[in-house]
A and B are shown apart, each in its own frame.
Chain A
Amino acid sequence: MKVLPFGERALLAEFASLTQTMAAFQAFSAARVPGIVELIPAATTVLAQIDPTRLSLRAAEQWLSDTYARATRSNTVRVGEALSVTIPVRYDGPDLASVALLLGVSIDELVSRHSQAHWQCAFIGFAPGFAYLASTEADFNLPRRETSRTSVAPGSVGLAGEFTGIYPRNSPGGWQLIGATDVTLWDEARDPPAAITPGMIVRFEVVTP
């Protein structure tokens, strides 16, 4: 872990891999102390926003290093402890056939790889509740669409890079759409409003359209 400066109210912890980043985010979240305002996980970083009146940057940096060292030593972050959710998906997305072609597999093979893998929410970005789900089992690496759609319906299941994700609300989008779900991913009246939060394990279940 490398700690980089981010002005006077934050520090950016950087890691070598997505797996390390996810483990670190879990460890930081579990050991959170007063003065840590936000912890924002991303692909290889966790941004810690600090209230400097309650925690100095120096103390925050020490806390990040100690917490990460402890987590690495005791290997306390285990997948089994994470919350999990199953999302029923109709695999009938407009890009399903072209994605199968890109990967050189049949549609059935693509569907079974996507639905049999354990996915984990690495971080949320792009839009409220848009979870980036990663898996060591699925082995996808796909480009975004060359032209992004101006409107993607909520519940659309997409692939981009090594990630899969579900559009929580209607928005423009460039991910390859392979299916759709009726699960409400984002509801402002719910606490938390996002159905999938960082660290959560996600499985997809095939439902027939």
Chain B
Amino acid sequence: MTGLVVIQPGPLTLVQDLGRPGLAHLGVGASGAMDRSALALGNRLVGNTSLAAGLEILIGGVELRAAEALWLAVTGAWGSVTIGGRAVPQNTPTQINAGETITWETATHGIRYYLAVRGGIEAPRVLGSRSRDTLAQLGPAPLAAGDVLRVGAECSGPVPLVDLVPVDAPPDGPVTIEVRPGPRRDWFSREAWSRLCGGEWRVSPRSDRSGIRLDGRVLERTERRELPSEGMLSGAIQVSPDGAPTILAVDHPVTGGYPVIAVVTDDSLDALAQLRPGQIIMVRLATGRG
């Protein structure tokens, strides 16, 4: 047997690559790794192309057994990751031997680990991507015990000679998320805008790959009419009728009927993937030219 055998799948472990952008007019969202830079770093560390698929591991509680010797790298969230009892350093190419198991404990910083395997995770592409879209239910099903993950051949070169990439752990304290105005900013009072961009927000435990819900104060609408559904993008901050904002994440519905007050900048998007329930975020208006 080759590849990786799933012993413990954890609460939600998904195959992810860069997603399937460009199909929203057919009702298919982009999906893809929520922390794109963590997946990209993992692929780079094991000499993969940027198109190789890896695993997105929510929280931890995962155990995989290698059926063959493999190069791998763990990026994204920080926590205890071990191979046969020895610690796997974060953001570093590591070898696993045939028969050894790799185990992820609960993440202590951030919430989504990424596993890159040299050659990439092999799975049938659906509409050009191996990503699991949890909302549209497209792509490979979430990992289950007993699954065998095959390894592909998406290498771009040798495993690079690096000991360690200095990447900080995802922050536990307040995270600043930059935004620019959305199409329905004028549907809200001036106070609502300064509340959004002034105060602190708490990440709701009801957050997932479709959206990060924020608990805090109410964003009051001045425009009361109903909004016909309109196109949505990752990072759009929708406000539901009760005044609570939700930042749409990678598996968001392609259209939505709640007004978008602001949109998160591209640079701030990846940070959303590592927000833990209860964590504080501060939303700030991005400065400089867009």
Chain A contacts to B: CB under 8 angstroms: 4-10, 12, 14, 37-47, 49, 52, 57, 123-130, 188, 192-194, 197-198
Contacts and interface: CB of A to CB of B under 8 A. Distances in A.
5 contacts: A7-B233, A8-B286, A125-B229, A126-B27, A128-B136
B64 interface: no
B127 interface: yes
Contacts of A125: 27, 229, 253-255
Contacts of A12: 183, 230-231
Contacts of A4: 183-184
Nearest to A130: B27
A130 B25 CA distance: 10
B179 interface: yes
A100 B223 CA distance: 35
A14 B187 CA distance: 15
Given A6-B183, A12-B183, A40-B255, A57 B290 contact: yes
Interface residues of B, number: 37
A99 to B, nearest CB: 22
B180 A8 contact: yes
Interface in B13-47: 21-22, 24-28
A152 to B, nearest CB: 15
Nearest to B265: A8
B230 A45 contact: yes
A205 to B, nearest CB: 24
A198 B27 CA distance: 10
A128 B25 CA distance: 9
Interface string B237-279: 0000000000000000111000010111110000000000000
B142 interface: no
B138 A128 contact: yes
Top 4 closest A-B pairs, CB basis?
A7-B263, A47-B231, A40-B231, A4-B183
Nearest to A161: B228
B21 to A, nearest CB: 6
Contacts of B290: 7-8, 52, 57
B119 interface: no
Contact of B180 (A5, A40, A49): A5
A39 B136 CA distance: 19
A147 B35 CA distance: 37
A168 to B, nearest CB: 8
A188 B183 contact: no
Given A7-B233, A47-B233, A128 B27 contact: yes
A39 B25 contact: yes
B203 interface: no
Contact of B231 (A46, A128, A194): A46
Contacts of B21: 37-38
